[in-house]
Amino acid sequence: DAKTTQPPSMDCAEGRAANLPCNHSTISGNEYVYWYRQIHSQGPQYIIHGLKNNETNEMASLIITEDRKSSTLILPHATLRDTAVYYCIVRVPPTDKLIFGTGTRLQVFP
Amino acid sequence: SAVISQKPSRDICQRGTSLTIQCQVDSQVTMMFWYRQQPGQSLTLIATANQGSEATYESGFVIDKFPISRPNLTFSTLTVSNMSPEDSSIYLCSVEGRTGGDEQFFGPGTRLTVL
């Protein structure tokens, strides 16, 4: 079973920051938090991952709470092309399996 | 990153037949994964395919229904056997990135419709 819960949908205005929350209250100390997105009819695309510290790359920032029970994916300047389903996933070592939850459908509007 | 291709990209099949889906990677990888995505749903892991050993299936999936081959480090196949309309889904393969917690890469998927 998925170890994450996310809101089913969110809206965001183009150019604004999109903040997507995720709860993973049962996460273990060696389990990573991963974010992927899936644009309609395509394979999921990796966005970012982290263990304890906040992370930033060219696509997004990942903020993980100190107790690691929740995290937030931040798209700093959302564009229409960011409209997709965003999945927050806890990756379980050593199998490296990704167990997908239901995700958040982000709609970016003009 | 890894470049992954799948064949076929889509197919329409008759009930009771079988379809074999191919996944080709442009680099050698140890772990490959097969997922199913039913219409309007999230992805569900079917099995993990490691070269040189039997695939490891998740709960609810069995080898007789979804036999998997992994003949080398760049290729795998998933067969959907004795298909029914309930097998209509997108089937995706994914591969590990570098070891140590890095990303997995997904193929474009195979869209299967069973009539």
pLDDT digit string (tens) for B76-111? 999 999 999 999 999 999 998 655 447 789 999 999
Cross-strand partners of A20 = A73
Q: How many residues does chain B have?
A: 115
If we measure between CA atoms, which residue out of B94, B92, B32 comes closest to residue A41?
B92
Q: Which residues of A touch B42 (CB under 8 A)?
A: 2, 87, 100-103
If we measure between CA atoms, which residue out of A106, A99, A21 comes closest to residue A65?
A21
Q: Is the dihedral of CA A78, B102, B5, B8 positive or negative?
A: negative
The answer to whether B45 contacts A98, with C-beta atoms less than 8 Å apart, is yes
Residue A28 sits at the chain B interface (C-beta within 8 Å): no
Q: What is the pLDDT along chain A (110 residues), one digit of tens a residue?
A: 668 999 999 999 999 999 999 999 888 888 889 999 999 878 999 999 999 989 999 999 999 999 999 999 999 999 999 999 999 998 877 777 888 888 999 999 99
Q: Which helix (H) or strand (E) holds B26?
A: none
pLDDT digits (tens, 9 = 90+) for B38-52: 998 999 999 999 888
Q: Which residues of B touch A99 (CB under 8 A)?
A: 45
In this structure, what token pair is assigned to residue A5? 């819960």
What span, in angstroms and rounded, lies between the C-alpha atoms of A93 and B81? 31
Of A97, A99, A102, the CB nearest to B48: A97
Residue B107 sits at the chain A interface (C-beta within 8 Å): yes
